[in-house]
Structure formats: C-alpha cells, structure tokens
A and B are shown apart, each in its own frame.
Chain A
Amino acid sequence: DAGVTQSPTHLIKTRGQHVTLRCSPISGHKSVSWYQQVLGQGPQFIFQYYEKEERGRGNFPDRFSARQFPNYSSELNVNALLLGDSALYLCASSLVTGASTDTQYFGPGTRLTVL
C-alpha cells in the first residue's frame, strides 16, 4: 500500500506569491493534518480535516487555508507569502480523529523556499 504522498517535493516562490500544496492520505484514512516545520524545530500544527470538515486550527494567520476533498485528499493554500513561510510542510494522515489509539503517519513533505 502506498503511504502518504505530497506534491510538489520542492518549491521556490517569491514574496507576495501564492502557493498550493497537495496531499493524498493513506488509503482508508479519513483524517489529514498539516504541519509547518522550520529548521531545528518540531512540526507546528496548522490544520486538521476529517470527513471534509475542519476539526482544528493552529495559531497561523488567515493567509493559511486548507480544504479536504471527497476522496480525502487535501490542499494547503498560503497567500501573500512571507520570507518566514520558508519551511518543510508536512501532511499526516490517520484513520479517524479523536480515537485515543489513532496514529498519524507523515508524508515526505514539501520544502517551500520563499525568496
């Protein structure tokens, strides 16, 4: 079975531009979470979606938005890019949300560089 997939793997943008990152969860997983990881830090939670509805949002500005599609894949959108948005963006999928034994499995990430 394929794991979590993300595209693109690398991306270079300039300040003020917009970016869309994509994620496909493990087959059968219905929950997708997005994380931002800057160098030397742990992943920071951005969003969680379950059954196409937002179930949680981290402390990120409104420039960050996301959605989940009927096939459970997800997009993360970032508008008006800033230099500080340069990071590894990780997508994690899990079977359900809220179950105490539920484990998140991460995709390979998208490395975003903002110049």
Chain B
Amino acid sequence: GQNIDQPTEMTATEGAIVQINCTYQTSGFNGLFWYQQHAGEAPTFLSYNVLDGLEEKGRFSSFLSRSKGYSYLLLKELQMKDSASYLCAVRDWRRDDKIIFGKGTRLHILP
C-alpha cells in the first residue's frame, strides 16, 4: 500500500522561514513532488526530488531522504501570497507510475 502523511495546518509569520514535512511509505518510490494550491485554484508545480538531497529554487527548497521515507519543503522570506495548501505527492512505479497525493498542509501567514 501507500501512505503519505503531512501536517494538516501550519502558521508562520511574514518574513520568517517555515518547513513543511512529509513522510511516505511506498514499495515502488519513483520520485516526490511538491505542489502549491491556492484556495479554489489548481495545484501548481513547485519541485521534484528523486535522489537524496536538497533542491533549491529561489525562496523554496525541497529535501529528500529515500532511506527515511521523508521529505520537507522549506519556504524562506515568507510573503502573504504564500498562504496556500502545500501538497506532497509520490510517484509509485509499482502502480504504473501513478502519482499519489497527500491531503495537503494548509499554511497560514500572519502579518
């Protein structure tokens, strides 16, 4: 089977740094995605990790540890527009490379 866990909600302050964790259990790991989704809108692609380590893209970074089944998304210099849900998703090669999503973490940014 497959299980993806991430916190339901988080709150952070404008200008600060926040780390959103994701743990997963899958027998056929073939990559991990992070998507951002504003309320009422479609998810937009943020990052992709398939090898261990940190991928940095501007204010956003994503980390992966395959041995621990763990990833995090790091958001720096938070802005009010970063208030959104952040979805962790895993591709499973044992399931025809289907991408399975977690329930998402709703991030609230306070001024």
Contact = CB atoms under 8 A, between A and B. Distances in A.
Interface of A: 33, 35, 40-45, 48, 55-56, 58, 90, 97-98, 100-109
B78 interface: no
Contacts of A40: 103
A101 B30 CA distance: 9
Nearest to B95: A56
Contact of B103 (A33, A42, A106): A42
Nearest to A41: B103
Contacts of A90: 42-43
A105 B60 CA distance: 18
Nearest to B103: A42
Contacts of B95: 56
A5 to B, nearest CB: 11
Main secondary structure of the interface of A (DSSP, over half): loop
8 contacts: A42-B4, A45-B100, A48-B96, A90-B42, A97-B97, A101-B48, A104-B33, A108-B42
Contacts of A55: 96
A109 B42 contact: yes
Contacts of A42: 4, 87, 89, 101-104
Given A42-B89, A44-B101, A90-B43, 11 more contacts: A41-B104, A45-B98, A45-B100, A45-B101, A56-B95, A56-B97, A100-B31, A101-B31, A101-B48, A104-B45, A108-B42
Contacts of B99: 33, 45, 104
Given A100-B30, A100-B31, A48 B50 contact: no
A41 B35 CA distance: 13
Contact of B98 (A48, A102, A105, A107): A48
A98 B94 CA distance: 11
Contacts of A48: 96, 98
A44 B36 CA distance: 16
Interface core residue of B45, B89, B96, B102 (most chain A CB under 10 Å):
B96
